[in-house]
Amino acid sequence: MTTTAPARSAASPPPPARPSAGRRPAALLLRWWRRLTAMRTAIVLLFLLALAAVPGSLLPQRSLSQNNVSQYFAEHPTLAPVLDRLYLFDVFSSPWFAAVYLLLFVSLIGCVLPRALEHYRSMRAAPPRAPRNLLRLPDAGELTTPLTGDRVLDVVEEELRVRRFRVVRREEELSAEKGYLKETGNLLFHLSLVALLLGLAGGKLWGYEGSILVTEGQGFCNSFQQYDTYSSGPLVDSGDLSPLCVDLEDFRAEYEEDLTAASFTADIGYGAPGEESRSTTIGVNEPLRLDGDRVYVTGHGFSPTFTVTRPDGTSLDDVSVPFLPSDQATMASQGALKVPDLGDDGDDQLALEGFFAPTGLVQGGILTSVDPRPLAPQVAIVAYQGYLGLDSGIPQSVYSLDSAQIDRGRLTEVGSANLSVGESVTLPDGTTVAFTGYREFAALQYSHDPGQGWVLTAAIALLIGLLGMLLLRRERVFARVRPDPGAGGTVLTLASLTRGSGENAPRFAALTDDLGAALAARTRAPEPEDPPREP
């Protein structure tokens, strides 16, 4: 009797092991890290960084001009608070801009450094073995020659080394490659981009700049208290400023025949406080350069000079104040002179609000300027007396009067006149105001950016890496020899593989032609004789 055992069901594969609860966060973090350090993520973050900088160029920024921000609030009282809550008036110091910036750093570094290590190992490794079926490669062909296999491979190796290939021979085959500098250029480009961003960040963190108007014969020292406007990085302290003082000795503005500005040059003296001053000339595109510090000329204007004489004989002689240009074409300028020190009565202060014309022309009692050159300087002034409010604790501009004081009646208009050089006007209380001439002023900007050299070096390296990416190509050539049973010679199988380029057929055809010519020349040459052996 035969007994048949029941058939066993096929064993089902065991279910995949689920990660333990402790390993799930680690796996999730690893997945996120790989996505963050992917090259396409870095490209997206770079695009987002450029997009995030757009509001900083469209909206006024507090770091550049608080007055413009205040004016925007006055013009858009409903929209401005909403934009302010989104940090759109402080774009480059906002948390979301910093987040994109830091994520871009992490993504680039996490992407480039592993690729650099892998590229280093690839450069030290030998070229790979030839594939089994060379004729399946995009560019392949065969040559027949009566030479032996070793001599054929000698010719191929010689031709490839002339073309700067790295060559490795293995028995009856040969592998060669070149173009590693293409990947080197790619890595150099991305590493330079990281260095460029670091240089820009360092310049923002440790850099500062200040602007000031300096009249001829006056000067300033590098101090935040002296600048009209300034901005500094969060890691800059007032004690970190370079000790330097600059004096404006003379300023010259030259114009073309159509009255457009041709050049602005300033003769200055500079040096550390307490040291002997050195002289030089600077211009718009020729700043003073001192160990990472720059002093630029950014503009110019005129400072009319006045002599104010009180009835008791007290006078303020040849006092000048910068008038800001309101029309760059004719350099018509507006400004104010505040005289709080003449007289003992605090409510009997004097202020002059004026309009300066380098080449003045009065039409219908109104003074205008017709030429930016000081050919016939004139000034139109309106005199006020009363309380200026300088000691009220409320900040006000040095270039204009406080309109609130005029609206409240604290400043009262007491006279007006159009004056040429040497003319004067007498106010009702006997005070005399004389227009004695003018001086020119230069708008100077002091800039300290410790990242400038770093940024320049990174930009040059970035350009070199980009050229390497675009102009070089990665190429491999394989060769294999086998006996030709029919003709008694050797069959050379040659193939080429190029990465990251388009049509490679012309280059492969040129290589094949050169090899054919070299093999033919070697065939016609006599066989080298073996050297005699000693007994």
Interval 113-130: pLDDT, tens: 888 888 888 778 888 888
Arithmetic mean of pLDDT, 27-38: 83
Band the pLDDT of 1: cuts 50, 70, 90: very low
Long-range contacts of 523-527 (CB under 8 A, 24+ apart): 523/145, 523/146, 523/147
Instruction: List C-alpha distances in Å: 484 to 140, 475, 506.
Output: 18, 28, 27
Band the pLDDT of 26: cuts 50, 70, 90: confident
Q: What is the distance in angstroms between the CA of the first residue and the CA of the last residue of the chain?
A: 87
Q: CB of 178 within 8 A of CB of 499?
A: no
Does domain 127-179+473-524 bear CATH number 2.60.40.10?
no
Q: What residue spans define the domains of the chain?
A: 33-121, 127-179+473-524, 204-300+446-460, 304-438
**CB proximity list for 137: less than 8 A, separation 6 or greater:** 131, 478, 495, 496, 497
- CA–CA gap between residue 270 and residue 221 (Å, rounded): 9
pLDDT number for residue 252 = 92
> Beta strands of 464-528 (E only): which ranges?
474-483, 490-499
pLDDT number for residue 21 = 55
Which of 54-68, 72-86, 341-355 shows the highest mean pLDDT? 72-86
Band the pLDDT of 5: cuts 50, 70, 90: very low
- CA–CA gap between residue 369 and residue 10 (Å, rounded): 103
pLDDT number for residue 2 = 41
Half-sphere exposure (CA, 13 Å, Cβ side) for 31? 6
The 3-class secondary structure across 313-372, one letter per residue, is CCEEEEEECCEEEEECCCCEEEEEEEECCCCCCCCCEEEEEEEEECEEEEECCEEEECCC
pLDDT number for residue 249 = 94
- CA–CA gap between residue 350 and residue 411 (Å, rounded): 9
What is the dihedral angle through the alpha carbons of 516, 517, 520, 526, rounded to the nearest 10 degrees?
-140
Query: Which of these, 124, 115, 180, 166, lies nearest to 472 by C-alpha position?
Result: 180
Helix (H) / strand (E) containing 264: strand 261-271
Band the pLDDT of 535: cuts 50, 70, 90: very low
- CA–CA gap between residue 434 and residue 411 (Å, rounded): 21
pLDDT number for residue 379 = 95
Is pLDDT at 159 greater than 60 in this prediction? yes
> Beta strands of 405-489 (E only): which ranges?
411-420, 424-426, 432-448, 474-483
